[in-house]
Amino acid sequence: MIKLNHVSFSYQNGEANEMQVLSDVSFQASRGECVVLCGKSGCGKTTMLRLVNGLIPHFYAGKLEGNVLVGGQEMQQTPLPQTSRIVGSVFQNPRTQFFHLDTTGEMAFNLENQNLPRPQMKKRLEEVSYRLNLQELMDRNIFELSGGEKQQIACGSVYAALPSVIVMDEPSSNLDMESIRKLQKLIRMMKDEGRTVLISEHRLWYLEGIADRYVLLEDGRIRQEFTPEAAADLSLEKRKALGLRAVKREQLYELRPDMGLIKQKSTGLEIDGLQFSRQMRQVLNVPHLEIPSGAIVAVIGENGAGKSTFSLCLAGLLKHTGTVRIDGKKIAHKKLPEQVYLVMQEAGHQLFSDTVLGELTLNNPALSEEKGKEVLTTLGLNGMENRHPGSLSGGQQQRLSLGTALCMKRKLMLYDEPTSGQDGENLLRTAELIRAANKQAASTLIVTHDPELILRCATHILHIHAGEVKKFIPLDERGVIYMKKVFGEDAQTKKPQKTGIPRLLEFTGRHRPLLGAAQLLSGISALFLLGPFVCVYFAARVLLTGLTGGGFAISSLVQWGVWALALELAGLIINFAALMCSHTAAFHTEKNLKMAALRHLSRMPMGYFEENPSGKLRKIIDENSAQMETYLAHQLPDLVSAQVTTVASLVLMLAMDWRIGLPLIVLMLASFACQMTMMGEKTMNFMKRYQDAQEEMNHEAVEYVRGISVIKVFGQSVHSIRRFKEAINAYRDDALAFTMACKPGYVGFNTVVNAAFLVLIPAALIGMTSAGDLTAFIENFLFYLIFAPACASVLNKIMYMSNYKMQAMESMRRIDTILLAREQSEAQEPQMAQGSDICFEHVTFTYPTGEQPAVSDVSFTAKAGTVTALVGHSGSGKTTIGTLVPRFYDVQEGRITLGGVELSEISRQEVMGKIAFVFQNPKLLKTTLEENIRGGCKNASREDILRAARLAQCDDILAKLPEGIDSIVGGKGVYLSGGEVQRVAIARAILKDAPVIILDEVTAFADPENEVQIQAALKELTKGKTVIMIAHRLSTIQDADQILVMKAGSLVEQGTHQELLGKNGEYAHMWADYNQAIAWKIDRKEEVKPC
């Protein structure tokens, strides 16, 4: 498919002795092959890609010898438009290949160039977006995407054109781990479809199991080719010598140099209340952070978490709130650039000189030429001092920026992805440079997704998630485990395209026009309701004329009264219509919000509900959707009405007499300024804390009430109420803080709003001195006397409506914590499990809220029709293994197969249909026993349900209930014991008749009589099934086909009961302890001492 015959090439750079970049290179790649070009920076990898995609010689001029064939066509003679039909290119920086502002247009760009008919183009885009899972990225603004999302669009655009060959130039360089996993799947898919993939890459580990060959280039020549096995076997020293980075995932975490732990003797960097927002959306919030002097901190987190924003704020390039102290000294925002140096991700943006050496001396004139050359030698750029920085490769530009940072000697050093384009040798050099620069600095922060760099120079880990500091820990053994967990899991939440009120309006659906109509009618109603004030003014003028001897015009007074009444009634009727529209839209929006949340929850894995209790979810959905319904139904129309009234009032005040109106307008502007102080980022943060505290207090109240019987029995009321009391105190403190934050603005607002007459009287006195017609002036003054109180009322309404708007925005953010929670991925082309064998292959899993792995490198196979027992101490990982089988969670490392097919490749419905899980503490719904059992099979007949109940030993339960199987559990005094509930749950599992059964301590809470019946029920349930049984009572698993002994998350022993006893290991000790425990009895001679 690709063939290079004795190719040599040198770029045309205007110099007499142009250096050859490639020299006598011969290379072939077959159809469906994935070949990786690797080697040190500047070895010719990118040039080879440019030869294949035709950019050489059609775009990059130079001297080319030999010939390049792709699909039988000679690239030198093939024009670029024709080449683009054969070869698709994905560049290191996807922005350089974008031609459109929206994602859909960019995806269609190549298809338009191929003159594909519009219907076919639309169909192709739908197919590609589905296959690559890009539906959420379609119709988006390119500039709103993260680096990983841009890379996905670039790949999708190339994939849609159906090229035979795809070349990729360091596609993973700017991606986080989640995006790399998506890229990994895409490359595997393209290879499986028979496309030839040629990749130039420094990060090699993610291509394990995909690459067919590794081609090592050195000084423009192919030095060596490696098979995947040979490349994986290269030692660390050999990889260093060849300039290669980790080839396998486990090599990412090889032993690092002894950095030593930094003890908190002094603080190098201290941050208080650092906040940054974009368009009323908080992007970054760091309440307090202390970093020790001399620490090198790796800032990690998913793309879009706020890491780069954090570094830009610290560098003084973004205006933020809060304080920054370096070595104990508070640094003003304007002074930060003098104390902080930031090496940006795109190094070319920081290079301004016309020579490499001049770049070092540009901001450091005292640096001598000799010293500058020494620095360049340290950077691996010796001999390049007179070259233009723009002629360097991306990796060389990054090293030059690092050298500039080294020469600047700032107190705080910041690096944003400093190894994105670096080979193995220069990665080590970069780590050494960062450590050298840190010796002259107070602290150093590195924003990176590169574990190889972190392990070679960092002393601490700072994990930023959703703009907040989630964890700050030393990079000791615990820190490395935590880092592996962060890099091994996908982001738990998606990023919204819109936030606040625009996000809320997405749920109005087809009723959105009603909301627009409500706002329009509210505005019209406001104008009509202003009419009575104007009528009263004109009536007052008639009265004034009468009082001054001009006579009372009764008919005019009646006329103005009628007009006032008519306008008032018209305004009320229009306002009623507006409220009807807004209420209709609001009710449907609330319904849509709740339905969207419930639909989303139905697609979430079971593990999500373990971490988010039902009470918490109910509160988030019910209370926040009700808050937004109130805002749309009442407060939004009122806000529009108040705003229209304000504008109309300003016009009227200027129209009547600007001399009196102008001071009032100034007063209104002052009141708006006071309002703005109550609606800033600080107040939003206080509101968030207030609502968080309210949520926590409600949760603790529920927990306290639920456990009050236990509290009373054990007399623990003082201790048990402590957490509840702390939650109440926290709520009090946050409510008070929120109130005090609003206090200055609120006091100022009320003072200004109620000071209208203090302004009116001086304005009237001044106006009277210059008034030609005193009567006309007094008549105009009457208008302001009548209108001023109305203005105060309107301004008060605007203030409260703005506060309600902030509450609605916060409510939408809270519901988005559910709506944007990451769903479990569903296979695009689901496969069917071939059998019921369960196989764990090197499975490692850490709970989302945990730090240590719950299970670590666990491998075993549970054959179809056999019983596998899991034993071990509490917390050893037994239940975790059980929950991983039905895919309650996805594993971070390794894989689990069912019937030879990986769980992620089987549809969720298929997985749940093949597995029955009997929990340790099962739940029954408040409905009939028949419906509770029917949960195992919705289409089961009543006879099938009765048979399942009989096999589960439930006959005695049905006999004692007043209505038998039709009795409602939890109603009319129908309650079941723990053992009886367990038997009903087993009946449900028997009815389901799944080939795989998971039993989690099903006899844990049963009395002897119930245990006998449960054991009989289990015999019926497990006949011919694959069974995984979790047990503490070792007597119940003696006959198991295999017993797995777990300890601290690891599988330490495996075998039958007799085999494990013969090993005299962990299981034998547990068996001895178990027998001793069951033989224990109360001795009357022994004294049981009270606690």
**Tokens encoding 849:** 């809220």
Same domain? 807 vs 873? no
The domain containing residue 1004 runs over which residues?
838-1079
Same domain? 814 vs 851? no
pLDDT at 772: 65
Same domain? 106 vs 238? yes
Cβ atoms within 10 Å, residue 227: 12
Output the CA torsion sign for 213, 226, 171, 186. positive
pLDDT at 672: 76
pLDDT at 17: 47
Give a three-class secondary structure readout of 549-582: HHCCCHHHHHHHHHHHHHHHHHHHHHHHHHHHHH
- Is 20 a domain residue? yes
Output the CA torsion sign for 668, 674, 677, 679. negative
Report how far apart, in Å, the C-alpha atoms of 685 and of each of 211, 324, 626 are: 49, 19, 22
Query: Among residues 771, 786, 819, which one ends one of the domains?
Result: 819
Angle at 403 between CA 399 and CA 408, to 5 degrees: 145
pLDDT at 483: 86
Angle at 870 between CA 1007 and CA 903, to 5 degrees: 120
| Residue 72 identity | G
Cα distance between residue 625 and residue 593, in whole Å? 7
Same domain? 413 vs 461? yes
Cα distance between residue 759 and residue 650, in whole Å? 16
Measure the CA dihedral 596/599/600/604, to 10°.
170
Which letter does DSSP use for residue 495 in this model? P
Query: Among residues 466, 488, 510, which one ends one of the domains?
Result: 488
Cβ atoms within 10 Å, residue 196: 24
Query: Among residues 453, 488, 523, which one ends one of the domains?
Result: 488
Same domain? 418 vs 510? no
Report how far apart, in Å, the C-alpha atoms of 809 and of each of 305, 506, 584, 773, 817 are: 20, 13, 20, 52, 13
CB neighbour class for 614 (10 Å; exposed up to 12, middle 13-18, buried from 19): exposed
> Do 793 and 638 contact (CB within 8 A), yes or no?
no
> How would you list the strands of the sheet with 296-300, edge to edge?
329-331, 321-326, 267-278, 281-292, 468-474, 460-465, 296-300, 443-447, 412-416, 340-343
| Residue 387 identity | R
pLDDT at 579: 92
Residue 400 half-sphere exposure, CB side, CA atoms within 13 Å?
32
Same domain? 761 vs 614? yes
Instruction: Tally the domains of the chain.
Output: 4
> Do 593 and 815 contact (CB within 8 A), yes or no?
yes
Same domain? 415 vs 484? yes
Backbone angles phi, psi at 329, to 5 degrees: -100, 130
> Do 188 and 343 contact (CB within 8 A), yes or no?
no
- Is 330 a domain residue? yes
CATH for 74: 3.40.50.300
> Do 994 and 914 contact (CB within 8 A), yes or no?
yes
Same domain? 729 vs 852? no
Give a three-class secondary structure readout of 340-404: EEEECCCHHHHCCCCCHHHHHHHCCCCCCHHHHHHHHHHHCCCCCCCCCHHHCCHHHHHHHHHHH
Cα distance between residue 361 and residue 375, in whole Å? 11
Cα distance between residue 1091 and residue 1081, in whole Å? 20
| Residue 918 identity | V
Same domain? 442 vs 550? no
Cα distance between residue 150 and residue 103, in whole Å? 9
Same domain? 586 vs 649? yes
Same domain? 593 vs 473? no
- Is 354 a domain residue? yes
- Is 830 a domain residue? no
- Is 1089 a domain residue? no
**Tokens encoding 1050:** 């690891």
pLDDT along the chain (1091 residues), means of 10: 92 62 92 92 89 90 91 88 89 82 89 88 88 82 77 88 92 82 88 92 91 93 93 89 87 64 73 80 84 93 84 90 90 89 78 83 78 82 80 75 81 87 81 87 91 90 89 87 79 68 88 92 90 81 71 80 91 93 94 92 81 78 89 89 84 77 79 75 72 76 69 57 79 84 81 75 72 69 74 76 80 87 78 90 85 88 91 89 89 88 87 85 83 84 88 85 83 74 85 88 66 76 86 83 92 92 90 79 54 48
> Do 838 and 1029 contact (CB within 8 A), yes or no?
no
> What digits encode the pLDDT tens for the residues 731-750?
888 888 888 888 888 888 77
Cis omega before residue 1090 (within 30°)? Answer: no
CATH for 693: 1.20.1560.10
- Is 256 a domain residue? no
- Is 135 a domain residue? yes
> Do 987 and 922 contact (CB within 8 A), yes or no?
no
Same domain? 853 vs 810? no
Backbone angles phi, psi at 1010, to 5 degrees: -65, -35
- Is 992 a domain residue? yes
